[in-house]
Amino acid sequence: MTEVLSQDEIDQLLTAISTGEVDAEEMGKSIDQRKVKIYDFKRPGKFSKDQIRTISMIHETFARLTTTGLSAQLRALAHVHVASVDQLTYEEFIRSIPNPTTLAVIDMEPLKGNAVLEIDPSITFAIIEKLFGGKSDSGPKISRELTEIESAVIEGVIVRILGNLREAWSNVIDLRPRLGRIEVNPQFAQIVPPSDMVVLVTLETKIGEVEGMTNFCIPYITIEPVISKLSGQYWYSSVRKGTTTEYLAIIKERLETVIVDLIVEIGKIDIKIKDVLALRLNDCIKLDVKTKDNFIANIGNRSKFECRPGTVGSKMAIQIVKVLSSKEIQDFEDIEEGGEE
């Protein structure tokens, strides 16, 4: 239904047009424009929004691991974070990167097919500079092919980065990425036909004061076998299950080394304040236990064992004769068994 303007609104609109605040021609154009979503049949979408979000979350983990790994390896401040995740054709990706550049062709075992990790030349040479002992955080932009020594060095860095990639994808698939080869000319890295759709993860990378982009390109055909697992529901359920089991194992391992106080309670009795004040040296206090009764061993404020007193050599000791039921221990074991299922 067409919206009808009030007289006041009409007067304000005429005033705005007469004073030049609003262009009548532009208004006419905006009215004619319809809110439509353009669909390009040459590049049909393969990934849903949910799958794009999941891929983004996976590579946020990858970025954090790479940040830590590069900082430790280079002994310099490094920062990597996900800038964007987009789907486009492989041809568009190849055209968008510089020549020469560092292109690592990666075998995505056990998936069939390859992926491409592209590192901006400024980042590549910043890494090489740090590993060769350079101290300069910034310098002139270098654009040339790598020497044999530089290629060998950057291969070692990429292999470490692929270890982070494997860990980031562990909740989806036991990925075993392996470096195939390194190219410098994008035209020589044709892993899929130019019209095939790919997902492009763009990572903003900073080494010292040098900034650049790192692109991770995964063809749709490569991750198609696990595309059903790239949903928010599957991702969160996998993360929760893995995290619960992992944390329980860590908690149990660390609790085993905690030092606690074991206190043996001989007995107790209720006594009035005036009787406490009247106590003197060598006075005897009658407890609520008999000489043949077992003592209670407490850990913290909880009773855990029944025991008998004795000696070992020249030191006093206790012998545990009964383990008291512990609901807390049973609950912990039940949780642990549930996490392993």
For the chain, which domains are there?
1-36 (no CATH), 49-244 (3.40.1550.10), 259-340 (2.30.330.10)
What is the residue-wise DSSP string for 212-258? Answer: EEEEEEEEHHHHGGGGGG-SHHHHHHHHHHHHHHHHHHHHHHHHTT-
pLDDT at 2: 44
CB atoms near residue 312 (< 10 Å): 9
How far out from the chain centre does Cα 189 lie? 30
What is the reported pLDDT for 341?
47
Bigger pLDDT: 258 vs 109: 109
Residue 64 has pLDDT above 80, yes or no: yes
**Structure confidence at residue 194 (pLDDT):** 87
pLDDT tens column, 301-331: 788 888 888 888 888 888 888 888 755 445 4
**pLDDT number for residue 301:** 79
- 298 pairs with which residues across the strands? 263, 303
* Amino acid code (one letter) for 323: V
The predicted structure's pLDDT at residue 172: 85
Summarised one tens digit per residue, pLDDT across range 4-44 is 556 666 677 777 777 766 665 665 555 445 556 566 666 56
- Within 8 A by CB and 6+ apart from 167, the residues are 61, 62, 65
Q: What is the pLDDT of residue 40?
A: 62
